[in-house]
Amino acid sequence: MTPTLLIKFGGTSVGAPESMQQSVDIVARAAKEWAHVVVVTSALSGVTDALLESARCAAEGNMQPFYRSEELLRERHAAIAARLVPDSGERARLMRSLNDLLASFRSLCQAVAVLGEASPRALDAIAALGERMSVRLLDAALRARGLPSRFVESGECIVTDDHFQNAYPDLDATRERTRTVLLPLLQGGLLPVVTGFLAATPEGVTTTLGRGGSDYSAALLAASLSADEVWIMTDVDGVMTADPRLVSEARSIPQLTYREVAELAYFGAKVLHPKTIRPVIEAGIGLRIANTFHPEHPGTWIVSDGEETRHGRIKAVTAVSGAALVTIEGRGMLGVPGVAARAFAAVAALKVSVTLISQASSEQSICFTVPADARQRVVAALEETFAAEIARRDIDRVWAGTEAVILTVVGAGMRRTPGIAGRIFTALGEAGVNVIAIAQGSSEVSISLVVDAADAQTALRAVHALTVEGGR
């Protein structure tokens, strides 16, 4: 097979003239080293939010946000074109194409305003415009650099169902379409530049892939092409041991397993959504998260779970703020089946997400975290659900604490290393932090702790020091 590299650029990597220039430079260097290169691009940073906000306001009869967004989008794309596409004829053709897409934006928002409703299908058509604009801009910039690129809208390659705003791909159809569309371009010496995020139904109706959609697009295309490597280019040096805004000593992690990434993503770290990288991991394709603005840095490599090592026992720590711990307690709960099921059914009926669960082995209490702004509704629903048990004193009380933070310590190597939990609790104790609740999955890839919001910074720094000790 011909060595194939797929590079995906996030919104910050293409969001300004200097950013897109950096991305063009990265592609140019890669094209000298790889026989085949495929590029996937997100919309310019902030564009998708502006598109969707315009649509929502239009549905309420307010077109002012649309007018502001239309002008801003035209100005931002034109500014990049002026810097990166020097040929006036090429630039004029590019701007005509971009203006056609902005005209579609206007028509869609006007239709939404007339109907007074933005359907999921309409929102997908509007949201997809960001990538459709950026792919034309990046393609023109690459050609101006002398690279023989050709833009492709991923609706030609990725086939999904019609679950708009979070469509599910048909993997077999996607593989066939992708190979049919992209392989001839690659074999013809062209460099495909493909839109991320969007796809299409078998009938050609535009859909989008939901959260992490551009990364998901990259993974699906890479798996379909049996690529050798995928580079996810962002604005940080890979995955960090902690949020550098909270812990100045945070550093990039050289290697993570799929399960570690899944835990970090679930508990608040701004890394890849696990769904988006599954096709790459299952296909055994090398996956690197790297910094567009620091491309010489190795970043973080994501490997299959079978490749985990004994090193880096504690790899990272995350903190999710804005949580509240809800507790159901009572001696009468002992041995009574169905308490947890009824509790979580009551919470689910409120459409409130539970992020962590902990239960005493005596079965006299069960506690779980919910968003802090939902705690009063959750407590009221539980009191109603267990009104009979509360009246009989089988359940003593249902209550919610003050705002808390979920601290999650991640590292696949922890499951082979005795004493990790002891070190964590010793560090927190020495820092004067009280742990309110604890949860650990049977895989032992992570340990989650609930601490008071006032102790969050202290707890995060205390546990992060353990990654410095054991992460080399």
- As a whole number of angstroms, the distance between CA 408 and CA 206 comes to 38
In a domain, 241, yes or no: no
State the pLDDT at residue 278: 85
**Residue that finishes a domain, picked among 183, 218, 235:** 235
* Same domain for 339 and 198: no
Q: Which domain holds residue 440?
A: 316-470
Q: What is the pLDDT of residues 257-292, one digit of tens each?
A: 888 888 887 776 677 777 788 899 889 899 999 999
pTM for the whole structure: 0.86
Pick out the chain residues at pLDDT < 50: 312, 470-472
* Same domain for 195 and 59: yes
In a domain, 289, yes or no: no
Q: Where are the beta strands (DSSP E) in 300-396?
A: 300-303, 316-329, 356-359, 365-371
CATH code: domain of residue 454: 3.30.2130.10
Q: Which of 368, 373, 341 lies closest to 355, judged by CA?
A: 368
- As a whole number of angstroms, the distance between CA 73 and CA 49 comes to 12
* Same domain for 64 and 170: yes
In a domain, 97, yes or no: yes
In a domain, 170, yes or no: yes
256 Cβ contact partners less than 8 Å away, ≥ 6 residues apart: 239, 264, 300, 301, 302, 303, 315
Q: Exposed/middle/buried for 234, CB within 10 Å: 0-12, 13-18, 19+?
A: buried
| CA distances for 394 relative to 150, 328, 336, angstroms | 69, 11, 10
**Structural domains counted in the chain:** 2
* Contact between 463 and 317 (Cβ < 8 Å): yes
Q: What is the pLDDT of residues 45-100, one digit of tens each?
A: 999 999 999 999 999 999 999 999 999 999 999 999 999 999 999 999 999 999 99
**Residue that finishes a domain, picked among 201, 219, 235:** 235
State the pLDDT at residue 472: 37
Q: Are strands 4-9 and 36-41 parallel, antiparallel or unpaired?
A: parallel
**Residue that finishes a domain, picked among 203, 235, 267:** 235
* Same domain for 350 and 223: no
366 Cβ contact partners less than 8 Å away, ≥ 6 residues apart: 327, 328, 329, 333, 339, 340, 343, 357, 358, 359, 360
End-to-end CA distance of the chain: 36
**What own/partner pairs with CB < 8 Å and gap ≥ 24 does 303-309 have?**
303/255, 303/256, 303/257, 303/258, 304/257, 304/258, 305/257, 305/258, 305/259, 305/412, 307/257, 308/257, 308/260, 308/412, 308/413, 309/255, 309/413
- As a whole number of angstroms, the distance between CA 318 and CA 308 comes to 20
Q: Mind giving me the DSSP string for 179-244?
A: HHHHHHHHHTT-EEEEESSEEE-TT--EEE--TTHHHHHHHHHHHHHT-SEEEEEESSSSSBSS-T
* Contact between 230 and 75 (Cβ < 8 Å): no
State the pLDDT at residue 312: 46
* Same domain for 335 and 196: no
In a domain, 269, yes or no: no
Q: Mind giving me the DSSP string for 233-251?
A: EESSSSSBSS-TTT-TT--
- As a whole number of angstroms, the distance between CA 249 and CA 228 comes to 33
CATH code: domain of residue 228: 3.40.1160.10
Alpha carbon 228 to chain centroid, angstroms = 23
